[in-house]
Structure 1
Amino acid sequence: METDGRAMLRRRVGVLLRRSREAADLAIEDVAAHLECSSAKVRRIENGQVAVRPLEIREILALYEVPDARRSALLDLARRSRESKLEWWQEYADVVGPDYEFFVGLEDRATLICDYQSYLIPGLLQTESYMRAVMDAYRVPADEAALRIRFRQKRQSLLVDAGSPAFRAVIEENALRKKVGDDSVMREQLRRIVDVGSRSRVSIQIIPAATGLHPAEGRAFIMLGFPDPEEPKVVYLEHLNGSHLLDTPAKTVAFDRAFADLQAIALSPDDSASLIEDMVKE
């Protein structure tokens, strides 16, 4: 008997394939002609009613000219949709947007996470109290906030699990000084940053408030790198009404350069830790 997990994954594959087809400006009939099948079958695939076979999805992704990073992730998702295993992030589909869910799937197999934040503490570093205060400020309903917090805490296990990716964070000093919750929340949060920053595969750097304008000013982003150096990096951008991913070298190379520039102008990890420790004492 089929599990709910397989059905959910099939639907996810279908949604992503439909979006890719629309981005390629192709009709269902075009795909059916290419696969030499009926239009009804393509609709069933996109609706998640049937699983797509490996050969079919490779043909489809080639037709849509899907970039390598997204193609690899889609192939993996399609493979899992034919199995019974449900990945942990699918459990939070009700409170996580589709682009973010796709991003977390990529993050889960990344070997490098680069996070630049200008207004808030990076999610992978947030304490539960800080998360809750953010949810309250954004007026997130209590039941949804609880799910979002559990989801974020699950993500944070990336930094402590065996084989954890390298994590590089650059944070504006203003983000550390923006009061989220009360003083005790902020002190706990600052101590958490210093604690996580002491781990071997973690680097946290602070850009002092006195630093002048720079190219990435105010444009928070997360960039992922993967085991295969030929696989393009992926950039996740979040805005008020949603989020989106960039996964082609032509679009991500500017963020790669920007993050290197941010690391160059920021304080060293040791000096950053000293600054944060001084802030805790203030």
Structure 2
Amino acid sequence: MAMAQENGKGWWDEFNDTIGPAARNLAELESRSTALRTHGPLVIPGMLQTEDYARAVLAATEANPQRAGRYTEFRLTRQRVLTGDSPVTCRAVVHESALHTLVGGPTVMRGQLLRLMEVSRLPNVTVQVYPFEAGVYAAHTRSFVIFGGGAPELDTVYLEHPTNSLILRDGEQLDEYAKMFERLSELALAPVDPESHASRDSLSLIQHVMYAL
């Protein structure tokens, strides 16, 4: 990816005043990946967040407004991998809980839900909602991202944690998370399709939640 430089430096170095090693690793992984598979159980995945939504999420963990603003800017800059010259393929499975979790108030949430519908118009982005009625699945409470490399053995799993995020590269662990994501996708509703008129798919559920706010 053009955003990652061969000498190991990248755009993320501009945020060294704020972000730590885990965030830098995340940005570099995203910039070097060809595909992303992300699952958000309680909040919308960062790659799909609006500025207002991201700011509200980050303000909940960062009391310093200036630092929260820098974190927000960093998160939005990461999203450029979806729309650059060589955009990555992004598949996201979002639990219905994330649609109902009120982040930043009704206006912010309506903007965020609208963003999910709009970003799904990109040919490289697929968004599915895992509905309540699908029940419990082993992975549905875990937030994770699978970064696709040029070959399966180069894939990486990122597990975000408030104090100690993990990066997994072990083959068996990669295979486990890949299978979990595919199962989540199978159990989720049909992907958001702005042209869809189905009575029960990801788009209709997002619209239902948005209009109820």
Q: Secondary structure at the match of 1:222?
A: strand
Q: Within 2, Cα distance between the matches of 1:159 and 1:230?
A: 21
Q: String of CA shifts for 1:70-112, please: whole Å, max 9, x gaps.
A: xxxxxx98x616xxxx410111123222133123212102111
Q: Within 2, Cα distance between the matches of 1:199 and 1:137?
A: 30
**Residue pairs, 1:157-236, within 5 angstroms:** 157-226=80-149, 228-236=150-158
Shift of 1:135: 2.1
Residues 181-190 or 228-237, more deviating: 228-237
Specify the alignment match of 2:26 in structure 1.
103
Shift of 1:139: 3.7
Pair member with larger Rg: 1
Specify the alignment match of 1:80 in structure 2.
7
Q: Within 1, Cα distance between the matches of 2:169 and 2:176?
A: 12
Matched-pair contact (CA < 8 Å) for 1:168–1:203? yes
Q: Secondary structure at the match of 1:218?
A: coil
Matched-pair contact (CA < 8 Å) for 1:232–1:249? no
**Residue pairs, 1:1-282, within 5 angstroms:** 80=7, 86-226=9-149, 228-270=150-192, 271-282=201-212
Matched-pair contact (CA < 8 Å) for 1:232–1:248? no
Q: Within 1, Cα distance between the matches of 2:23 and 2:143?
A: 15
Matched-pair contact (CA < 8 Å) for 1:172–1:207? yes
Task: Determine which structure has greater relative contact order: mean sequence separation of CA pairs < 8 Å that are 6+ residues apart, divided by chain length.
Answer: 2
Shift of 1:129: 0.8
Q: Within 2, Cα distance between the matches of 1:185 and 1:242?
A: 29
- Counterpart AA for 1:89: W
Shift of 1:145: 0.8
Shift of 1:230: 5.0
Matched-pair contact (CA < 8 Å) for 1:112–1:225? yes
Q: Secondary structure at the match of 2:160?
A: strand
Matched-pair contact (CA < 8 Å) for 2:62–2:68? no
Q: Within 2, Cα distance between the matches of 1:155 and 1:106?
A: 10
Q: Within 1, Cα distance between the matches of 2:61 and 2:75?
A: 16
Specify the alignment match of 1:66 in structure 2.
none
- Counterpart AA for 2:204: S
Matched-pair contact (CA < 8 Å) for 1:118–1:175? yes
Please give the TM-score of this superposition, normalised by the length of structure 2.
0.89
Matched-pair contact (CA < 8 Å) for 1:233–1:248? no
List gaps (5 residues or longer) in structure 1. Answer: 1-75
Matched-pair contact (CA < 8 Å) for 2:127–2:191? yes
Count of equivalent residues: 201
Q: Within 2, Cα distance between the matches of 1:148 and 1:190?
A: 21
Shift of 1:217: 2.6
Residues 168-177 or 272-281, more deviating: 272-281
